[in-house]
């Protein structure tokens, strides 16, 4: 029998339905893989019993002749940003150590309702702030990938959903949830040779997901291929009356709608995404991607998104501003860590608790956010950034007059080594240059593996679509996937 952990979501779902193997066998195999991959530090909490219980329910349903649920028998990994009832949820921060939610996030509940089981809670950048997983309070995740230079440099799995990307790439789970605020699904997917989609803002409920920046945060799936992403996204999405920004629309049947032919479609190539100092290999992959979509029948059109260069600075005002407010609730009163120095009053307790509980990057962003909202600076920073955001969204609107989707690289580099960028926050921020504009505009965007660089590390291509057109994004990504024939995988060293 093949190793069950080599299977993706669709193969597991179909195999369980057909009785090729039992859901319990699948869960057991993945539980063992998780337990055997401690050096990756991808999981903060392992929940083998949760996975087994869901598997047994699937097997029992099949035995009873019932119609199986969409994800019956599929065990997944859950980013630790999602609150899970009775299972510690920390957002990889000390300040939430010891916090056990009494509730289940809507996205995770939707997955359980679809029959999925949970293998564990995945490590991440603290409060989803980071692009390398180095801001986790519980040690960084190490990418399962290594350069082919014979060195053993530990590489970043990307971030913030780095536990998710590492776990899927290392075959510890067939799929995992991620969240994307400025690229946190797409960049780690690109770094680890997997697929990941951020849907339109409002497709996935934010209820019960620990907030980073409310106007940008979107959950999405990370999985081995485009089809698996479509299957998982269908289960995660849906209207939620508990989230005022949730879209009250039916969930499209994305898997059923998959179609790799791009005949009649126009693929836009934004000229402003050609940035200075972009590695040749990234440029070459982009050209390759253009050739692939052309081969799939698409017409290529050059488009302009003139405000692209202002997206990152606008993002680094808006996201920290929202975060500075969203994270005010971590005060040591109702949950999480409390730090009460001798004789401290209430305000001193807050300051001590937050100083001890938040990591450096989180503090940095809270300070920036506090500063840009403070008296006298609000209009110059926040209001201006919100206006630029309007212009960025307008750029995309104009592009849609000329094309159906956009094709760009996902990140300006392959995975970098851990420690390489952590000393320079700004250099780290610049890694999100291609992913942030679509986040600001709330658009669906996906990363799909395109190939390897000279060092043998994966590179990703990004497809950006119109609001609500996840199908168009998935289809273009599928066309690329079929032509890229990406089969590389990390060799197990852990």
Partner 1 sequence: MADATAPYRIKGATGDWEVVIGLEVHAQVTSNAKLFSGAATAFGAEPNSQVSLIDAAMPGMLPVPNRECIRQAVRTGMAIDAEINRWSRFDRKNYFYADLPQGYQISQLYHPLVGEGSIEIEDGEAVKTIGVERIHVEQDAGKLMHDQHPTRSYVDLNRSGVALMEIVSRPDMRSPSEAGAYLRKLRAILRYVGSCDGNMEEGSMRADVNVSVRKPGDELGTRTETKNVNSVRFVMAAIEHEANRQVELLESGGTIVQETRLFNADTGTTRSMRSKEDAHDYRYFPDPDLLPLELDDAFLEECRASLPELPDAKRKRYEAAGVTPYNAGVLTAEVETARWFDALLEAGAAPVAASNWVTGELFGALNRVGKDITDSPVTPGQAAELLALVADGTLSGSLAKQVFEVMLETGDAPGKIVEERGLKQTSDTGAIEAVIAEVLAKNPAQLEQYRGGKVALFGFFVGQTMKAMGGKANPGVVNELLKKALG
Partner 2 sequence: MSVDTATVKKVASLARIAIDDAHAERLVPELNNILDWIEQLGEVDTSGVAPMTAVIPNTLRLRDDVVNADPLTGGGIRDAVLANAPQAEHGFFTVPKVIE
334-393 residues in contact with partner 2 (CB under 8 A) are 334-338, 340, 344-352, 354-355, 358, 363-364, 366-368, 370-372, 374, 377, 380-381, 383-391, 393
Which residue, 242 or 271, is less far from partner 2 as judged by CB? 242
Q: Which of the choices partner 1, partner 2, none does residue 307 contact, using the CB cut-off of 5 to 8 A by kind?
A: partner 2
Direct distance between the N- and C-terminal alpha carbons of the chain, in angstroms, rounded to an integer: 23
Proportion of the chain in helix, strand, coil states, percent, rounded to 5 = 40, 15, 45
Of 433, 388, 378, 377, the closest CA to residue 409 belongs to 433
The verdict on whether 215 is a catalytic residue reads no
160 is catalytic: yes
Q: How far is CA 275 from CA 40, 272, 281, in A?
A: 32, 7, 13
CA distances (Å), origin 51, targets 84, 100, 113, 367: 14, 19, 13, 40
For residue 412, the surrounding DSSP H or E stretch is none
The nearest distance, CB 433 to partner 2, in angstroms, is 12
Among partner 1, partner 2, none, the one that 206 touches (CB under a kind-dependent 5 to 8 A) is: partner 1
- Buried b / exposed e across 283-321, counting CB within 10 Å, b at 16+? eebbebbbebbeebebeeeebebebbebbbebbbbbbbb
Site residues for partner 2, 238-257, by CB under 8 A, read 241-242, 244-245, 247-248
In whole angstroms, the minimum distance from the beta carbon of 13 to partner 2 comes to 28
CB 154 within 8 A of CB 129: no
**Cβ 354 to partner 2, closest distance in Å?**
5
Phi/psi at 20 (5° precision): -60, -35
CB of 301 to partner 1, least distance (A): 33
DSSP letters along 31-49, please? HHHHHT-GGG--EEEE-HH
Catalytic option among 89, 160, 324, 447: 160
If one asks whether residue 287 binds partner 2 (CB under 8 A), the answer comes out as: no
Between CA 405 and CA 464 the distance in angstroms is 6
| Site membership for partner 2, residue 310 (CB under 8 A) | yes
Peptide bond into 160 cis (omega under 30): yes
**In whole angstroms, what is the distance from residue 170 CA to residue 182 CA?**
24
Q: Of 30, 112, 273, 316, which one interacts with partner 2 (CB under 8 A)?
A: 316
Size of the site for partner 2 (CB under 8 A): 76
Restricted to residues 145-184, the positions that interact with partner 1 (CB under 8 A) are none
Does residue 307 belong to the site contacting partner 2 (CB under 8 A)?
Answer: yes
Interface characters, 200-219, with partner 1 (x: CB under 8 A)? ------xxxxxx-xxx----
CB-nearer residue toward partner 1: 44 or 91: 91
Which residue in 69, 79, 265, 466 is the catalytic one? 79
The residue within the footprint of partner 1, chosen from 12, 29, 74, 83 (CB under 8 A), is: 83
- DSSP symbols for 195-219: EEEE--TTSS--TTBPPS-TTT-EE
Closest CA to 265 of 479, 27, 29, 19: 479
Q: Does 138 bind partner 2 (CB under 8 A)?
A: no
Cα 180 from chain centroid (whole Å): 5
Does the protein bind partner 1 through residue 387 (CB under 8 A)?
Answer: no
Closest separation in Å from C-beta 209 to partner 1: 5
Structure tokens that stand for 473 in this block: 């994004």
Residues 98-137 contacting partner 1, CB under 8 A: 99, 101-103, 105
Nearest approach, Cβ of residue 442 and partner 2 (Å): 4
Contact assessment for residue 464 and residue 443, using Cβ atoms and an 8 Å cutoff: yes
Minimum Å gap between C-beta 326 and partner 2 is: 12
What would the x/- binding string for partner 1 be over residues 339 to 358, using CB under 8 A? Answer: -------xx--x--------
Per-position DSSP letters for 290-304, written without gaps between them:
HHHHHHTTPEEEEE-
Q: Among 201, 273, 286, 396, which residue sits at the site for partner 2 (rule: CB under 8 A)?
A: 201
Q: Which of 426, 485, 487, 491 binds partner 2 (CB under 8 A)?
A: 426
Catalytic residue among 105, 161, 184, 237: 184
What whole-number distance in Å separates Cα of residue 428 and Cα of residue 422?
7
Pick one of partner 1, partner 2, none as the site partner of residue 151 (Cβ within 5 to 8 A by kind).
none
Residue 5 interacts with which of partner 1, partner 2, none, CB < 5 to 8 Å by class: none
How far apart are alpha carbons 136 and 133 in whole angstroms? 6
Q: Return the residues of window 161-180 that contact partner 2 according to CB under 8 A.
A: none
Instruction: Answer yes or no whether residue 370 interacts with partner 1 by CB under 8 A.
Output: yes
Per CB under 8 A, 426 contacts partner 1: no
Residues with catalytic annotation?
Answer: 79, 160, 184
Interaction site with partner 1 (CB under 8 A): 82-83, 89, 91, 96, 99, 101-103, 105, 206-211, 213-215, 241-245, 321-322, 324-325, 327-329, 331, 333-335, 346-347, 350, 370, 373-375, 378, 382
């Amino acid at each position: 029998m093949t190793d069950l952990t080599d299977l993706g979501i669709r193969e597991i779902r179909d195999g369980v339905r057909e009785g090729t193997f039992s859901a319990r066998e699948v869960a057991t195999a993945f539980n063992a893989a998780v337990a055997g991959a401690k050096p990756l530090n991808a999981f903060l909490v392992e929940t083998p019993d949760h996975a087994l219980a869901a598997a047994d329910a699937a097997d029992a349903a099949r035995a009873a002749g019932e119609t199986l649920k969409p994800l019956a028998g599929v065990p997944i990994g859950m980013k630790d940003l999602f609150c899970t009832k009775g299972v510690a949820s920390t957002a990889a921060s000390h300040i939430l150590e010891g916090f056990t939610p009494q509730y289940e996030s809507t996205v995770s509940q939707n997955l359980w309702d679809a029959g999925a089981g949970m293998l564990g809670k995945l490590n991440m950048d603290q409060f989803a702030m980071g692009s390398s997983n180095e801001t986790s309070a519980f040690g960084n995740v190490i990418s399962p990938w290594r350069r082919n230079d014979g060195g053993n440099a530990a590489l970043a799995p990307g971030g913030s959903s780095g536990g998710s990307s590492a776990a899927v790439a290392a075959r510890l789970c067939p799929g995992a949830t991620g969240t994307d605020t400025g690229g946190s699904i797409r960049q780690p997917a690109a770094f680890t040779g997997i697929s990941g989609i951020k849907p339109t803002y409002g497709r996935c409920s934010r209820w019960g997901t620990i907030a980073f920046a409310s106007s940008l945060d979107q959950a999405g799936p990370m999985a081995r291929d485009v089809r698996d992403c479509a299957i998982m996204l269908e289960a995660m999405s849906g209207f939620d009356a508990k989230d005022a920004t949730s879209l009250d629309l039916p969930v499209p049947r994305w898997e059923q709608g998959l179609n790799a032919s791009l005949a009649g479609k126009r693929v836009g190539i934004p000229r402003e995404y050609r940035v200075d100092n972009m590695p040749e290999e990234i440029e070459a992959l982009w050209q390759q991607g253009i050739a692939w979509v052309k081969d799939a029948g698409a017409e290529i059109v050059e488009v302009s998104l003139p405000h692209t260069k202002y997206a990152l600075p606008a993002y680094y005002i808006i996201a920290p501003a929202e975060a500075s407010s969203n994270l005010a609730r971590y005060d040591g009163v109702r949950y999480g860590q409390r730090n009460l120095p001798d004789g401290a009053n209430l305000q001193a307790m807050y300051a001590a608790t937050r100083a001890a509980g938040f990591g450096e990057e989180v503090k940095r962003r809270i300070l920036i956010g506090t500063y840009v909202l403070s008296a006298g600076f609000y209009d110059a920073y926040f209001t201006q950034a919100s206006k630029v955001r309007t212009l960025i969204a307008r750029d995309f609107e104009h592009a849609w007059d000329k094309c159906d989707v956009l094709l760009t690289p996902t990140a300006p580099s392959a995975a970098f080594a851990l420690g390489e960028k952590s000393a320079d926050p700004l250099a780290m921020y610049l890694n999100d240059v291609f992913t942030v504009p679509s986040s600001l505009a709330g658009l669906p965007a996906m990363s799909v593996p395109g190939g390897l660089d000279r060092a043998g590390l994966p590179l990703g291509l990004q497809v950006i679509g119109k609001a609500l057109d996840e199908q168009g994004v998935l289809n273009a990504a599928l066309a690329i996937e079929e032509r890229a024939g990406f089969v590389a995988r990390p060799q197990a060293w852990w």
